[in-house]
Amino acid sequence: MKELMPKKNQWLIVLLIGILLVVIAIPTKSTAEPEESAATDEELRLKNVLEKMEGVGNVSVMITFRKSDEIEGVVVIADGGGNAVVVKNITEVVQALFDVDSHKIKVIRGNQTN
């Protein structure tokens, strides 16, 4: 009569496959995060351009990215953000530079400190 129980080698293979699947499923953190450094460069460049525009004043910029390096949204906090013309100009500049739809751009008036 043949034995229906798996042999030791078969159990070992099943155990090793299980361990391999667990190791593969454990998330790892990447040491290089190019999106953050790229965002910082883009934010600084946009800040510099916007601050040179008339009526904008001091500016803070935040750009969020999707995993595919596509811009998800842009927030601009500017001293001149309370002026409709300035908001329109900032929005148009961001659209021109980053090819972002206007609904993904938010311009807010910042605190004017004199």
Q: What is the pLDDT averaged over residues 10-23?
A: 84
Task: Kindly report, residue by residue over 24-74, the tens digit of the pLDDT.
Answer: 888 776 555 555 555 578 899 999 999 999 999 999 999 998 887 889 999
The fraction of the chain above a pLDDT of 90, given in percent, is 54
Which DSSP string do the residues of 25-55 spell out, in sequence order? HS----S--HHHHHHHHHHHHHHHHHHTSTT
Start-to-end C-alpha separation, the chain:
95
Cβ-proximal residues to 50 (8 Å cutoff; 6+ apart), any chain: 56, 59, 61, 76, 78, 90, 93
How do the domains of the chain map onto residue ranges?
Answer: 34-109
Regarding pTM above 0.75, the answer is no
Q: Which CATH superfamily is domain 34-109 in?
A: ANL, C-terminal domain (3.30.300.30)
CB-based burial label for 63 (10 Å; 0-12, 13-18, 19+) = buried
Looking at residue 89, what is its pLDDT?
A: 96
